[in-house]
Amino acid sequence: MTASVGRTRHNGEVLDSAPYRTADLYRPGVLADLSPARPAPVPVVPAVPGQTGHLARVVASSSDRAGWLRARSRGITATDVAKLSTPRSVRAAAYDKLHGTGFSGNVFTQHGRSREPEIAAWVAATHGVEPSDLLFHAERDRRHLATPDGLILRTDGRIELAEIKTTNKPFRSIPRHYLRQIWWQQYVLGAERTLFVWEQHDGFVPMRDEPECRWVDRDEAEITKLVALATDLIELLRQATSVATPASGTGTPAATTSSAAPSATGTPTGMRVSATA
């Protein structure tokens, strides 16, 4: 079943599905690249030689897990932005970016990763949105990153995306943190809409013959809010990883430390879902 979704708002948590300690990558030496003078990351050779547009903005592929995680640590991803809604959430996201979330996956995220190729094949067959494992940077800021689950460039020049989730709870509507993730991906890729696809399971057995899906239209007002929050997050990270020089001009520079603290509401809710970035 396919339907259209506009600006429905919801609350929720997103889980980091990295398979090993993210703190090893989110270290000050890496995050210093977030300084405006050193935008990160530098794009690699386009995925298709001679291509322009979104293919010229490929940064990494998730098939190279270590390289993909390293590239993500140098910018603000859809997973990061999904958490951003208030100044407090920005501070919590900065803390997670600096120190890692401590979450390295569980049976639910493992199930999501194992089911994603099958669901992606269904999306391609029914809606023509092809699977993608590429990390892109935004045209306006190379520190803004996203890895959509699916992508297609239509013949009229429009880009459409797909975002895939698995869940053990029914979705009456799309959770708010997933909408933020979707809108950020649309901003980074310049996409007009995204097919949000979810598969509900009971004991890791799919409950329906086919996944459920809804189209989510691009929302410029929401994107503007997210870009502003991402700017605040980058500034917090820049301050936390900058080097302070003594006022006298002598002595050894001392690195500042982050004052961000984890949110009191940082524990996941009862809903167990897979999460990708």
pLDDT at residue 103, rounded to an integer: 63
What b-and-e string marks burial along 105-118, b requiring 16 or more CB atoms within 10 Å of the CB?
A: beebbebbeebbee
The answer to whether 160 and 194 are in contact (CB under 8 A) is yes
pLDDT at residue 192, rounded to an integer: 96
The answer to whether 83 and 14 are in contact (CB under 8 A) is yes
- Paired with 162 in beta bridges are 150, 195
Tokens of 113: 């990763």
pLDDT at residue 275, rounded to an integer: 46
The answer to whether 147 and 80 are in contact (CB under 8 A) is no
Query: What pLDDT digit, counting tens, does each position of 21-47 carry?
Result: 333 333 444 444 554 444 444 444 454
Residue 22 is classified by DSSP as G
- Paired with 146 in beta bridges are 136
Tokens of 266: 């940082």
CB 248: neighbour CB atoms within 10 A? 6
262, pLDDT greater than 80: no
Q: What is the number of residues in the chain?
A: 277
Query: What pLDDT digit, counting tens, does each position of 195-228 carry?
Result: 999 999 988 888 899 999 999 999 999 999 999 9
Task: Identify residue 44 by its one-letter amino acid code.
Answer: V
Of the pLDDT bands very low, low, confident and very high (cuts 50, 70, 90), residue 270 is very low
3-state secondary structure of 242: coil
